[in-house]
Amino acid sequence: MAALKYAGMDDTDSEDELPPGWEERSTKDGWVYYANHEEMKTQWEHPKTGKKKRCAGDLPYGWEQETDEKGQKIYVDHINKRTTYFDPRQAFTVEDVMMKPKRYDGNTAALEILQGRDLSDKVVLITGGNSGIGFETARSFALHGGHVILACRNLSRASKAVSLIQQEWHKARVEAMMCNLASLRSVREFAESFKAKKLPLHILVCNAAVCTQPWSLTEDGLESTFQICHLGHFLLVQCLQDVLRRSAPARVVVVSSESHRFTDLLDSCGKVDLAVLSPPKNEYWSMLAYNRAKLCNILFSNELHRRLSPHGVTSNALHPGNMMYTSIHKSWWLMTFLFTLARPFTKSMQQGAATTVYCAVAPELEGLGGMYFNNCFRCQPSNQAQDLSSAASLWELSERLVAERSVGIQSL
């Protein structure tokens, strides 16, 4: 090895021990490099072993990387009130070897998936991010440096969610914006406000949903579960498609549910039927309406991927996990009671957010889409959810519905 020409290198007690005049440093994203102060040069390879290393995981709890007055990186230990130029992660380095993607399951938390990830160059938009799975998704992205925008109906609750995240980390870049999916006008106004910020959009999470709602019509004359769970998101993506394409590679993540398997959307002619999706009051059953909306989510995601993947925008749908205690069922007292009884056996919100985060950041999914995930594993949705003609039919119906209620909306 060429490095062995340096005198005395083979006399050290450990092969990892650096020779005189060398210093181990690390980059912001955790890669280790070596500085030779005598020859005033740096290199990635260890001067003795010739191996490359990287830091394993995040900074320890309570530590933060900052820059001193000379522009040098320093590490601040807020718990013990001390600073150092030594990256504490260097105590836990691993060799740079080809590694298989880590396997996750239903017990994995969202923050585990993001361990060691730096999202400071990502802009993330999440609908319904003020509570439940959406909040944990937003929190996870923000604590790893992402610029997170919560698109929520209730701006007061969204602002409280922002405060909670910033209390946890004062440098978290997270903000709330008004977006009511039950109003197509509100969705368009939100899209224009977002575009005015001149931000890119790397990850769009269609998370917001309602379940077991009493029958009601939105201001657009459509059944509320259908519009909030599907059509509002359809319009949102349609309005932001140009931003997504400019930000490529970008990902859309659509939160669906296993309940999509227990319904159908087609009429006798094999077309997606609006009367099924937005039924009159006397034909409405809240759980069935939710199941249909979740089937719409997967069909929408698949067709979106087919249309935008040539432009660097991918889309995947997912089921966040079985038996999670959230507030989504609050409109039905029986469901609330049953979930209260089952709460000791349910997933946590952090575990519920894991599959969303996985679909948004997993390196092995770069450029891949049109798939359905459960517990961070790809699985097969129902036959109708995979039907290309159903996806196209729903898309055409959705385009017509938003076009009838607007003027000049650009078509994908």
Active site residues: 290
Residue for token pair 């210093």: 23
CB-hemisphere CA count at 13 Å for 183? 12
Q: How far is CA 129 from the centre of its chain?
A: 11
Q: Where are the beta strands (DSSP E) in 286-393?
A: 313-319, 372-374, 377-379
Of the candidates 291, 313, 279, the residue with the CA atom closest to the CA atom of residue 212: 291
Question: Are 44 and 54 spatial neighbours (Cβ–Cβ below 8 Å)?
Answer: no
Q: Do the strands 372-374 and 313-319 form a parallel or antiparallel pair, or are they unpaired?
A: parallel
Distance between CA 362 and CA 318 in Å, rounded?
Answer: 14
- Which of helix, strand or coil describes residue 295? helix
Distance between CA 380 and CA 274 in Å, rounded?
Answer: 26
DSSP-derived secondary structure for 159-203 = HHHHHHHHHH-TT-EEEEEE--TT-HHHHHHHHHHHHHTT---SE
Q: Do the strands 73-77 and 203-206 form a parallel or antiparallel pair, or are they unpaired?
A: unpaired
